């Protein structure tokens, strides 16, 4: 009897853990889009209400973000999607930018072999060949069900009607103002001051989108738009030519797929490092049953940090464009290899990154890029992450075409051993070559549970993307948070080098920080940035959808 009484709280606890958390985000019956702006989520959702599928909604949402969220939404950048159809078929699309034909390994080095400051980050010299327009056409041709014109028309209308500036957007535009003027002079659209409540209209972007509507992919990569774009970039000192644009192709890639406990995860493969790195992190923590600890306490933070430390050390050394380098994926993702990597892990003391690798670098920025998640009424799912790299990319804005150009060339390692703008140290595998794709951290991810769609997850955040996606999945699955709670939960990050843990503001107590410090963790207490803006969807046990829209931004879930 006494034993039974003692067992009751334990049974209740296990029972509690097994009941999925009640939703706290938007719940819809059938379909949902979660993206960085309400305008884009609405356009994507409307496409599905009209009978379009998730792939149609992807086309509309991606293009709508180029209008509503020029900070990272784009037609001058690139991205990745991972999809899962309702019949279980999965795939990935790489519409990542690539290096122009004129690019070469030392293009950002001076005569002494030193990296030339800003050349790979600011202005025309930083621009890679954009992939987004090729990406949306590839998706539409393969899986779309509505005519392309029906998908782009609401986006053109939005560009003409204009987008109301939010408080957060006004602050961002203000903080980038001087850089816009430095790169573009003082007479372009973004040299003006905008305040919250103003409406920004994009008539020139509407014109470019109309050319795409009328001529398809060629409306961007050939003819008038391509000629104007290439001349503009070259006049400003950059390298992208008409031939580069004409040769651009999006590529279908097999995603990285792995099991974690009762979950099956599907994430992006190289040239994104996202899938490989979260695969390594999850497999390194799997034997330790992280869910038995309280959320965001010392032990799960230690476990996650040590796995991330080891995974990022591999990421930075081995990964690059698979069309150019041989990546030893078989070894990197092998269970025994990963368990051996964690052999020296102990809860008593931090492992020093110098024992795993070497170098001293600094994280500079981490909030760019944008992500959206889509589920349609048939159960098809898309996880899409798209970027200009930095906020507003290279800051180079074509007034005539109405959009910003990326600074994605900085995602190559300009010089092995020297950090990029995210503080990531690259290696030979990610060195520059003509037509090569630069390594990415974008981690669009779909999770299945018991063979059914369970989560659609992703985020911006540069090098912090991978850890934010992994923590969001763990928050739902191991710590039993709702989708919205999992997105809201404070995040932390470690990326091997620099060897310190970074915490978001206000989410972690002084005592916890002191406890970690006493175990040898180096903690950057001066820098507590916001990490990522996760936009995610959870399929509830009754088949309804719960959105997790990140309040760190203006992100919004819309559906029906
Ligand atoms: N530009 C950020 C990334 O691709 O990871």
* Residue 14 banded pLDDT, cuts 50, 70, 90: very low
Q: What is the pLDDT of residue 318?
A: 87
Query: What distance in angstroms lies between residue 385's CA and the mean position of ligand 1's atoms?
Result: 9
pTM of the model: 0.94
* Ramachandran quadrant class, 114 (left: phi over 0; alpha: psi -120 to 50; beta: rest): beta
Q: Residue range 84-91: average pLDDT?
A: 98
Q: What is the pLDDT of residue 1?
A: 46
Q: What is the pLDDT of residue 425?
A: 64
Task: Write the burial class of residue 363 (CB in 10 Å: 0-12 exposed, 13-18 middle, 19+ buried).
Answer: buried
Which two three-digit tokens encode residue 279? 């695969």
Which range, of 297-301, 353-357, 399-403, 491-495, averages the lowest pLDDT?
A: 353-357
User: Which of 131, 269, 384, 441 for a ligand 1 pocket mutation test, highest count of atoms within 8 Å of Cβ?
Assistant: 441
Exactly one of 369, 459, 467, 556 is catalytic; which is it? 369
Q: What is the pLDDT of residue 421?
A: 72
Crossing angle of the two packed helices 132-143 and 148-161, in degrees rounded to 10: 140
Residue whose CA lies nearest to ligand 1 atom number 3:
440
- Tell me whether residue 125 is one of the annotated catalytic residues: no
Q: Are 31 and 375 in contact (CB under 8 A)?
A: yes
* Residue 424 banded pLDDT, cuts 50, 70, 90: low
Q: How many residues does the chain have?
A: 560
Query: What distance in angstroms lies between residue 94's CA and the mean position of ligand 1's atoms?
Result: 13
Instruction: Return the bridge partners of 83, or none.
Output: 91, 382
pLDDT tens sequence across 149-161? 999 999 999 999 9
Average pLDDT, the chain: 93
User: 292: which DSSP letter?
Assistant: G
Helices and strands, counts by H and E, the chain: 17, 20
Q: Residue range 195-217: average pLDDT?
A: 98
Q: Are 74 and 132 in contact (CB under 8 A)?
A: yes
User: Which of 268, 388, 462 for a ligand 1 pocket mutation test, highest count of atoms within 8 Å of Cβ?
Assistant: 462
Quote the distance between the C-alpha of residue 508 and its chain's center.
24
pLDDT tens sequence across 539-553? 999 999 999 999 999
Q: What is the pLDDT of residue 414?
A: 85
Q: End-to-end alpha-carbon separation of the chain, Å? A: 51
DSSP string, 351-417: PPGGGT-------------EEEEEE-TTS-EEEEEEE-SSTTTTS-EETTTTEE---GGGGS-SSTT
Higher pLDDT, 525 or 39: 39
User: Which of 315, 442, 458, 460 for a ligand 1 pocket mutation test, highest count of atoms within 8 Å of Cβ?
Assistant: 442
Q: Are 2 and 341 in contact (CB under 8 A)?
A: no
Q: Residue range 311-326: average pLDDT?
A: 91
pLDDT tens sequence across 176-205? 999 999 999 999 999 999 999 999 999 999
Ligand 1 site residues (CB inside 6 A) read: 369, 387, 389, 411, 440-442, 462
């Amino acid at each position: 009897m006494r034993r039974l009484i003692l067992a009751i709280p334990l049974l209740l606890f296990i029972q509690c853990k097994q009941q999925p958390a009640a939703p706290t985000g938007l719940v819809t019956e059938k379909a949902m889009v979660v993206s960085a702006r309400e305008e884009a989520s609405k356009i994507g959702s409307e496409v599905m209400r009209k009978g379009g599928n998730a792939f149609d909604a992807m086309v509309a949402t991606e293009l709508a973000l180029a209008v509503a969220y020029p900070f990272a939404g784009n037609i001058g950048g690139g991205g990745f999607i991972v999809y899962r159809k309702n019949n279980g078929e999965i795939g990935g699309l790489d519409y990542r930018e690539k290096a122009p034909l004129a690019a070469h390994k030392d293009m950002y080095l001076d005569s002494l072999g030193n990296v030339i400051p800003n050349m790979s980050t600011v202005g025309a010299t930083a621009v890679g060949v954009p992939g987004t327009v090729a990406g949306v056409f590839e998706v539409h041709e393969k899986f779309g069900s509505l005519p392309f014109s029906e998908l782009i028309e609401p986006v053109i209308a939005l560009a003409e009607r204009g987008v109301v500036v939010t408080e957060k957007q006004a602050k961002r535009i203000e903080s980038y103002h001087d850089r816009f003027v430095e790169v573009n002079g003082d007479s372009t659209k973004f040299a003006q001051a905008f305040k919250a409540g103003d409406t920004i209209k994009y008539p020139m972007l509407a014109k470019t989108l109309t050319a795409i509507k009328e001529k398809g992919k060629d409306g961007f990569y050939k003819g008038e738009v391509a000629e104007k774009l290439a001349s503009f970039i070259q006049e400003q000192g950059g390298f992208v030519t008409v031939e580069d644009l004409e040769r651009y192709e999006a590529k279908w890639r097999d995603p990285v797929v792995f099991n974690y406990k009762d979950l099956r995860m599907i994430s992006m493969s190289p040239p994104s490092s996202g899938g490989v790195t979260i695969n390594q992190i999850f497999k390194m923590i799997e034997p330790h049953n992280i869910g038995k600890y309280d959320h965001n306490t010392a032990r799960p933070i230690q476990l996650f940090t040590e796995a991330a430390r080891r995974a990022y050390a591999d990421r930075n050394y081995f990964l690059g464009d698979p069309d150019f380098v041989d990546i030893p994926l078989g070894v990197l993702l092998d269970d025994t290899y990963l368990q051996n990597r964690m052999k020296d892990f102990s809860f008593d003391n931090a492992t020093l990154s110098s024992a795993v690798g070497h170098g001293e670098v600094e994280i500079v920025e981490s909030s760019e890029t944008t992500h959206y998640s889509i589920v349609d009424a048939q159960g098809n799912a898309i996880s899409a992450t798209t970027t200009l790299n930095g906020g507003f990319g290279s800051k180079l804005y074509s007034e005539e075409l109405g959009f910003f150009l990326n600074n994605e060339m900085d995602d190559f390692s300009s010089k092995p051993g020297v950090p990029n703008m995210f503080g990531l140290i690259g290696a030979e595998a990610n060195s520059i070559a003509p037509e090569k794709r630069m390594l990415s951290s974008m981690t669009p991810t779909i999770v299945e549970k018991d063979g059914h769609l369970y989560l659609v997850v992703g985020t911006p955040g540069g090098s912090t993307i991978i850890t934010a996606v992994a923590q969001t999945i763990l928050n739902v699955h191991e710590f039993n948070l709702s989708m919205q709670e999992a997105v809201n939960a404070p995040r932390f990050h470690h990326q091997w080098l620099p060897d310190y843990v970074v915490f978001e503001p206000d989410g972690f107590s002084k005592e916890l920080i002191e406890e970690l410090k006493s175990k040898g963790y180096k903690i950057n207490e001066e820098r507590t940035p916001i990490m990522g803006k996760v936009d995610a969807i959870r399929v509830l046990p009754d088949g309804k959808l719960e959105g997790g829209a990140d309040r760190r931004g203006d992100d919004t879930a819309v559906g029906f």
